[in-house]
Amino acid sequence: MKQELIGVDMHCHLLPGVDDGSDSLEESVSIIKAMEENGIHKIYLTPHLYSTAIRSEPELFEKRFRMLEKEVDDDIVLEMGSEVHIVPDVSEKNVIPLGDSGYLLIEFPTNTFPVVAEKELLGLQRKGYKIILAHVERYDYLFKERRAGLFKVILEPTDFLIKLKNMGVLFQINWNTIVAPSVKEKKILDLLERYYWMDFTGSDKHSFKDNRRLINTENQKYGIFMNEELAI
């Protein structure tokens, strides 16, 4: 008999009014209801923290968490977390891991190589955090192209991406990338699958307007990820 999966979304921006995610309690509750209909029963709320580009209000996190927790169905478990932007000395700052799991969701800059990443990640690991790199598919500088023959181009990991894996960093891929990848994203997915680097998935849902698809636990692709590690 097949064991039923406990659906977990470990990356979303549904804590209302604290960053670039959901603007209202009502919107957050509606999206969470849709998540529940898709088989999700545990949700980690991961507002931006220390982002240089996105406003966030960490002083409101706990208050908004309590407000949201009161409004969702009893079958839904909410956990506090954050998406920590890699900045100088972030390993010395207060961070919010994913509940009591010890996992810490880290974000890199989209277009600029994070020169402080190795130092800061090692510092966070020394504090006992297990690092998950958010939406790894977004960072073009982690991948390189190699020509194989006259017309074929193969995507390969950069030395730094390999170093991250050797450091024990886990990779999160956005669910929308899994089920509706662009041509470029499909090449990255093929690479990650080839190296067995498909670790976690999250919706990265911000609002109804972002058109990002919600995780559906009925989709067999959900079962390849380690999200169940966060179900307890």
The pLDDT tens digits of the residues spanning 131-167 come to 999 999 999 999 998 877 767 777 999 999 999 999 9
Instruction: Give residues with Cβ within 8 angstroms of 196, minimum separation 6.
Output: none
* C-alpha to C-alpha distance for 15 and 67, rounded to whole angstroms: 9
**Per-residue pLDDT at 4:** 60
Q: Identify the CATH number of the domain in which residue 63 sits.
A: 3.20.20.140
Judged by DSSP in three states, 232 sits in: coil
Domain membership flag for residue 61: yes
- pLDDT at res. 153: 73
Q: What's the CA gap between 95 and 100, in Å, rounded? A: 13
58-75 per-position pLDDT tens digit: 999 999 999 999 999 999
Q: What is the pLDDT of residue 92?
A: 98
Q: Is residue 105 in some structural domain? A: yes
| 4 half-sphere exposure, CB direction, 13 A CA radius | 4
Q: Domain range for residue 98?
A: 7-135+172-181+198-230
pLDDT digits (tens, 9 = 90+) for 9-45: 999 999 999 999 999 999 999 999 999 999 999 999 9
Q: Which residues make beta-bridge pairs with 7?
A: 40
The answer as to whether 147 is a domain residue is: no
Q: What phi-psi label fits residue 5: left (phi over 0), alpha (psi between -120 and 50 degrees) or beta?
A: beta
In a domain, 19, yes or no: yes
DSSP state, 97?
-
Average of pLDDT values for 158-186? 98
Q: Is 53 domain-assigned?
A: yes
Residue in the structure block whose two tokens are 């979304």: 9
- pLDDT tier at 2 (50, 70, 90 boundaries)? very low
The mean pLDDT of the chain is: 95
